[in-house]
Amino acid sequence: MISKFTLMNMSSKNSLTFGQTPEEECLFKDDGIDWGKAPASHSTFSYPTQLGEYIASTSVKGRDISIEGYVYYIPTDLEKSQVLPEELEEYCYRQIKKKKELLNGIVNPEQIVRLTIGSYFIEGKPEQSIVYGSDDATNNIFFCKFLISLFCSNPMFRKTVLPSTVLSGTKPAFRFPLIIPKGVGIKMGIRSSYRLIAIENEGNVSTGCVIRLKAKGTIVNPTITNIQTGEFITIDKTLVNDEEVEINTNDGNEKGVKGYIDGKEFNYFKYWNFESTWLKFPIGTSLIGFSLKEGDETLLDISITVNPLKYALEDM
């Protein structure tokens, strides 16, 4: 069971922690969360006299999540000693109202809310403003019951911190404090340059990636290839020293190709080779390689970031 999670408004960056112990900012019950489901819609067809149907395609729709919990406030021993006993209830009620004000700002139907559980998150928009208890039994000076409803158009849980796989690049080889052995010296960096590397997708569905290229000199037409499927991405451009390219193959608004020169961002879609495909990583292991039309392969740093997508988390 999940015992703790965080809600963050992605516009204001304000957040609250929800848990099942008095130390948390808001409480929720064991049965207070409905994680919803990711419903699938199958397009089918059949022939006369056929038994059953063929599934032509499958699309997965959004997920509805509802959270039922309580806003409350427990004064510390210091607060109890500083506030008059006859004023303590009113003091706690003011603190509850402050939490409600923060919660009202986080749950905004016009803004995206991120729900983070451990190392995974899911994002959505509230389906309505927050609903509070409407009678003395659920909304009083000691606690206030609430209901939050989220619609997540992307029903998958994604990792918050993504490890990047270095296909070609330089890793630092020293740490501070720095001691240089006399007459021996030290390694300043280790060059990793793999023509092939295995990349693992630990999720439940195929997913895109973010490919970052950085030129350390002049190179021509870099190509990233999935060896098993034959799919590839080629950037038809001569890259110069310190020029960077970012290719995002994930579905959504971020999908595209960007370039960076002297810290300035440019649209590099015009350099996209139209025989290229938006690389996807199927479940399991994929073998990825790279090549250049012209140039020294050691002059190109390449990293690939894959975010595994899950329908559900093991703690649910």
Give percent of the chain with pLDDT exceeding 90.
58
Higher pLDDT, 194 or 14: 14
pLDDT tens column, 65-81: 999 999 988 888 898 88
CA 99 to chain centroid? 27
| pLDDT recorded at residue 234 | 96
Tell me which residue of 211, 217, 271 sits closest to 246, measured CA to CA.
211
End-to-end distance of the chain based on CA atoms, in angstroms?
Answer: 5
| pLDDT recorded at residue 179 | 55
pLDDT at 21 > cutoff 60: yes
CB of 150 closer than 8 Å to CB of 113: yes
Of 143-152, 180-189, 236-245, the least confident: 180-189
Of 36-50, 161-175, 191-205, 290-304, the least confident: 161-175
Tell me which residue of 210, 188, 214, 16 sits closest to 99, measured CA to CA.
16
| pLDDT recorded at residue 189 | 45
How far apart CA 217 and CA 220 sit, in angstroms, is 10
Confidence of residue 173 (pLDDT cuts 50, 70, 90): very low
Residue 42: CB atoms within 10 A of its CB come to 11
What's the token pair of residue 91? 């003091």
Average pLDDT over residues 246-266: 93
Strand partners, 2: none
Average pLDDT over residues 292-310: 90
| pLDDT recorded at residue 27 | 86
What's the token pair of residue 245? 């390219």
CA-based torsion, 301, 306, 307, 313: positive or negative = negative
pLDDT tens column, 186-221: 544 444 444 678 889 999 999 999 999 999 999 999
Give percent of the chain with pLDDT exceeding 70.
91
SS3 content of the chain, % helix, strand, coil (to 5): 10, 45, 45
pLDDT at 155 > cutoff 50: yes
pLDDT tens column, 85-102: 889 989 989 999 999 999
How far apart CA 234 and CA 222 sit, in angstroms, is 6
3 state SS of 309: strand
- Full-prediction pTM beyond 0.85? no
| pLDDT recorded at residue 146 | 94
